[in-house]
């Protein structure tokens, strides 16, 4: 069975601090994809990144970076120099590679509150 665990329910930081959101996954698939989505108060889930299991290279996009470690089944997300606009619920998700449906299995999310 596939499962995504986001152990951090809520994190509160002060603006400009760095913050890391943890994601641990379980899957029996040898190939799979991992995703991060952001859900601001408006409710719409916004796609941030997709990473396939072939590629363990870390990725940086502006203030965002992702650390994928297959050995520990983790796909952690770091925001550098956080801003108030980063306040949202962040979801990690997993899908089977090339699966018939491409459906996502989501974690329970981490609520990030960035205080000014």
Nearest partner of 110 among 94, 92, 89, judged by Cα: 89
Stretch that binds another protein, among 14-22, 30-38, 60-68, 73-81 (CB under 8 A): 30-38
Residue whose CB is less far from another protein, 69 or 108? 108
Contact positions with another protein (CB under 8 A) in 91-110: 91, 93, 95, 97-109
Cross-strand bridge partners of residue 114: 13
Contact status: 12 vs another protein (CB under 8 A):
no
| Residues in region 41-100 near another protein by CB under 8 A | 42-47, 50, 52, 91, 93, 95, 97-100
The residue behind tokens 């299995």 is: 105
Q: Residue 82 phi/psi, 5° resolution?
A: -55, 155
Nearer to another protein, 18 or 98 (CB): 98
Stretch that binds another protein, among 14-22, 29-37, 64-72, 73-81 (CB under 8 A): 29-37
Q: Which of 101, 102, 45, 110 is nearest to 75 (CA)?
A: 110
HEC sequence for 30-69 = CCEEEEEEEECCCCCCEEEEEEECCCCCCEEECCEEEEEE
Residues that bind another protein (CB under 8 A): 4, 33, 35, 37, 42-47, 50, 52, 91, 93, 95, 97-109
């Amino acid at each position: 069975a596939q499962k995504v665990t986001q152990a951090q329910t809520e994190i509160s930081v002060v603006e400009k601090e760095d913050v890391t959101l943890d994601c641990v996954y379980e899957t029996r698939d040898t190939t799979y994809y991992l995703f991060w989505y952001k859900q601001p108060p408006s409710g719409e889930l916004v796609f941030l990144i997709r990473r396939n299991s072939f590629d363990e290279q870390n990725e940086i996009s502006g203030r965002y970076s992702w650390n994928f470690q297959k050995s520990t089944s983790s796909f952690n997300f770091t925001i550098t120099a956080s801003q108030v606009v980063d306040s949202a619920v962040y979801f990690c998700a997993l899908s089977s590679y090339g699966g018939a449906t491409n459906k996502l299995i989501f974690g329970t999310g981490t609520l990030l509150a960035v205080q000014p």
